[in-house]
Amino acid sequence: MRIVIAEDDALLREGLALLLRAEGLDVVATAGDPDAFLAAVDRYGPDVAIVDVRMPPTHADEGIVAAVEARRRRPELAVLVLSAYVEQMFATELLAGGARGLGYLLKERVGRVEEFLAALHRVAAGGTAIDPDVVAQLFARTRPDSRLERLSPRERDVLALMAEGLGNVAIAERLFVSEGAVHKHIRSIFHKLDMAPDDRSDRRVAAVLRYLDGRERAR
């Protein structure tokens, strides 16, 4: 897996590179600003880009813009966006073109190395990684939703992990249940929420997020 890191904070950039290299991953280039990042993507043709949202010159959403541009130039590039705080708008913007090979995580998740590496590998393999906080925010919107109310607590757990981008096996591991049980929960969820079942996880994530996000829009 060939990785490019775009992060303007030098200490964090080097820390990330050090961590990934220690795990035997191939960090081919690091960049401190959007232009250098895009140049590195063009030059090295990486598989995955890890991109900070806030980058020079204005430290607003230059990272998101650069990530979208990198995807336009190299559609097969997987992008994992790191953010200082959860901003629903960034997630929505990023996922506008589908959830395939995309991740949006809070920066501090990197410290939980195993989970971070799992997310990185998932994204690199065309999957999705959405930060639990983003999912929690989507759930926390208080408008009573009769359909969500119908879900059992366990089904809500499964829905949340699905929204994060986890596959059936990973969900089963996380909840200490069998894969068959997860499968059953998922079928039940899709039925209760009136959604077409889909086994491919990225499409599934997109559908779940759309559902949760759409709930917000309809308000």
Partner 1 sequence: MEATQIRRLAGEARGSTGRALRDLVGGLGTAALALGVLLWLALVAAAGLIGIGLALVPSAARALHAVADLERARLSRRGAEVLSPGPPPGRWRAVLTDPATRRELRWLIRHATAGLLLGVLGIQLPVWAVRDGTFALWWRLIPEGGRTPGLGLWTVHDWPGVVTVSLLGVCWAVLTVGLSPALARWQAAPGRRLLAPGPGTDLSLRIAELTATRAAALDAHATELRRIERSLHDGTQNRLVATTVLLGAARRMLTRDPAEAEVLLERAQSAAEQALAELRAVARGILPPVLADRGLAGALSGLAAACAVPCRIEVDVPGRCAAAVEATAYFVVAEALTNIAKHSGATRAEVAVRGSDTMLRLRITDDGRGGADEARGSGLVGIRRRIGALDGGLTVTSPPGGPTTLEVELPCGS
Smallest separation (angstroms) from partner 1 to the CB of 40: 20
3-state secondary structure 39-91: HHHHHHCCCEEEEECCCCCCCCCHHHHHHHHHHHHCCCCEEEEEECCCCHHHH
**Alpha-carbon distance 174 to 133, whole Å?**
17
Site residues for partner 1, 132-171, by CB under 8 A, read none
In terms of CB distance, is 1 or 175 closer to partner 1? 1
Please, are residues 72 and 41 in contact by the beta-carbon 8 Å criterion? no
Out of 64, 66, 110, 158, name the contact with partner 1 by CB under 8 A: 110
Please, are residues 9 and 42 in contact by the beta-carbon 8 Å criterion? no
Smallest separation (angstroms) from partner 1 to the CB of 12: 5
Smallest separation (angstroms) from partner 1 to the CB of 78: 20
Other residues' Cβ atoms within 10 Å of the Cβ of residue 159: 24
Give, in degrees to the nearest 5, the angle at Cα 182 between 178 and 148.
150
Smallest separation (angstroms) from partner 1 to the CB of 110: 5
Query: Binding residues for partner 1, how many (CB under 8 A)?
Result: 21
For residue 18, state whether it binds partner 1 (rule: CB under 8 A).
Answer: yes
CA atoms within 13 A on the CB side of 213: 17
In terms of CB distance, is 20 or 207 closer to partner 1? 20
Out of 54, 100, 185, 204, name the contact with partner 1 by CB under 8 A: 54
Smallest separation (angstroms) from partner 1 to the CB of 33: 13
Dihedral pair phi/psi, residue 123, rounded to 5°: -65, -45
Please, are residues 53 and 67 in contact by the beta-carbon 8 Å criterion? no
For residue 38, state whether it binds partner 1 (rule: CB under 8 A).
Answer: no
By CB under 8 A, which span of 15-23, 95-103, 139-147, 178-186 interacts with partner 1? Answer: 15-23
Out of 26, 42, 76, 108, name the contact with partner 1 by CB under 8 A: 108
Please, are residues 158 and 182 in contact by the beta-carbon 8 Å criterion? yes
Smallest separation (angstroms) from partner 1 to the CB of 3: 15
Positions in the binding site for partner 1 (CB under 8 A): 8-9, 11-12, 15-16, 18-19, 22-23, 54, 59, 84-85, 107-108, 110-113, 116
